[in-house]
Structure 1
């Protein structure tokens, strides 16, 4: 069996930056264990398999795998798959069936190998629980207790399909000082996936409103995490104005040399979050063929 694949760099328009993603565009017929084995072979944070949709009105069905498990939803595979499907068609709206639900992305072609996609969250983020143990958080991240917290934001667990521990810190310099304490990690970040999204506001940066780093999900550090940004929308929405739309630009991956630019959008009506969206660019960095013959 020979399967074509693409390598995209997501949340960037520059090859070899952003968050790398493997895309298998013709994945029908693959068994679950074969998809998992292929994702482990690529050994990227995620691999997305594009299959025929169950509903013919939709563009595709997606299966998303880390090297170790399948995910119901993830942001950078969704953006990467939408750009892949958009580049191979003339469609400006890409409808993708994911385990978390139907995801619709608006696509804009930038050139022959890059595009931009923004998708509405299939599940709005929800607060799960507070994280009051500031000392434990600081020890797990290798920072000071006084570094925890930013403006009105306090640590909490949120999920928009994938669970994240959201940890606001004082400023961007704290992000650069993080040194993971693996002994303390899983006891402190004990909810599903043991993943922490550490973020801060960046009013001194003209191009970005928020800076973040993501640790966990069996990948160490991830350069660009759309599902975590989706969870963060929930925390941002709690402090947003009662009615209206708010837009943010977030940077992630700069400390890794893989800078990502992620756009966030939320809208509230009568103080209730009614809309959330994530967006970014993606570029095809390479392509090849998997030869799976015995």
Structure 2
């Protein structure tokens, strides 16, 4: 059975940077085990399989797999799939259009803006508002996992916490970009502290010297040693930062640079809305560019 697929670089406008994504089209006939095997074969951080929607309001259903497991939600597959559907004419056409992609976490609204060249920009609204866990490993354990001095944890008064906007992450603030660049993940320490925990993946972030956020993501349980750009983690971070904000009503926006240490620079635009001191929406956006297409033999 031949199936068409495309490769995109997501959270970038420049080919061969950002986070690579495989998108398999018209995947209705594939079984779960086949999708997992194909994701292992592509061996990218995530592969998304587009199927006919089950929800009436959705344009497509997306099933998302890392090399090791299926995810209920992920940001770079959502942004990449939305851009691709627009680029190949399988989404409403126009300079600024909105539609819904069905995922395991529920319906995920997306908004796509087309660029004049082969890139497109998509923004997702997280289906789940920020959820916080009550317990995380102590600072000494987190520092040991990351191979850094415990004194380098913390930034702007923020501490380690576990947050989810569909996929849980341990959010770890560190003091400087130099600390971020010096991380040396100890997988054995990770396994002892986080394997089987509610939040197992680590999203480590800091403030850059020009006001931007810098981040790295490590997810051994997902089969991802390090990810160049992680939309679901960025959504969790947006939710956490917005929850901290003294702003009662309004929109907050940040830019995250990720993948720099991997040679895959990526840029993620995150935002959140607050009303009456509550976080009411979390969004993640970025560009995607198509770099390859082909036929998969199943």
TM beyond 0.5: yes
2:237 to 216, 232, 235: 232
Contact 1:11–1:76 (8 Å) recurs in 2? yes
Once the two structures are superposed, the pairs formed by residues 190-269 of structure 1 within 5 Å of their partners are 190=195, 191-192=197-198, 194-202=200-208, 204-205=209-210, 209-216=212-219, 217-240=222-245, 241-269=247-275
- CA distance in 1 between counterparts of 2:277 and 2:154 reads 23
2:152 is equivalent to residue 171 of structure 1: no
Q: Which runs of at least 4 in structure 1 moved beyond 4 Å after TM superposition? A: none
2:155 to 150, 159, 175: 150
Q: Give the 3-state SS of the residue equivalent to 1:276 in structure 2.
A: strand
Residues 132 and 99 from structure 1, CA distance in 2 versus in 1: closer, same or farther, beyond 3 angstroms?
closer
TM-score (norm 2): 0.93
Contact 1:130–1:155 (8 Å) recurs in 2? no
- CA distance in 1 between counterparts of 2:198 and 2:132 reads 14
* 1:248-282 Cα shifts (integer Å, max 9, x gaps): 01110000000110001111112111111000000
* 1:76-127 Cα shifts (integer Å, max 9, x gaps): 0000010011112215113111110111111011145320000111111111
The equivalent residue for 1:138 is 143
More divergent stretch after superposition (186-195 vs 223-232):
186-195
Contact 1:165–1:189 (8 Å) recurs in 2? no
- CA distance in 2 between counterparts of 1:132 and 1:288 reads 44
The equivalent residue for 2:13 is 13
- CA distance in 1 between counterparts of 2:269 and 2:3 reads 32
Once the two structures are superposed, the pairs formed by residues 55-134 of structure 1 within 5 Å of their partners are 55-89=55-89, 90=93, 92-131=97-136, 133-134=138-139
2:28 is equivalent to residue 37 of structure 1: no
Root-mean-square deviation (Å): 1.4
Task: List alignment gaps of at least 5 residues for structure 1.
Answer: none
Q: CA shift at 1:153, angstroms?
A: 0.7
* 1:119-150 Cα shifts (integer Å, max 9, x gaps): 11111111112436111111111100110000
Q: CA shift at 1:180, angstroms?
A: 1.1
Number of residue pairs aligned between Structure 1 and Structure 2: 289
Residues 242 and 56 from structure 1, CA distance in 2 versus in 1: closer, same or farther, beyond 3 angstroms?
closer
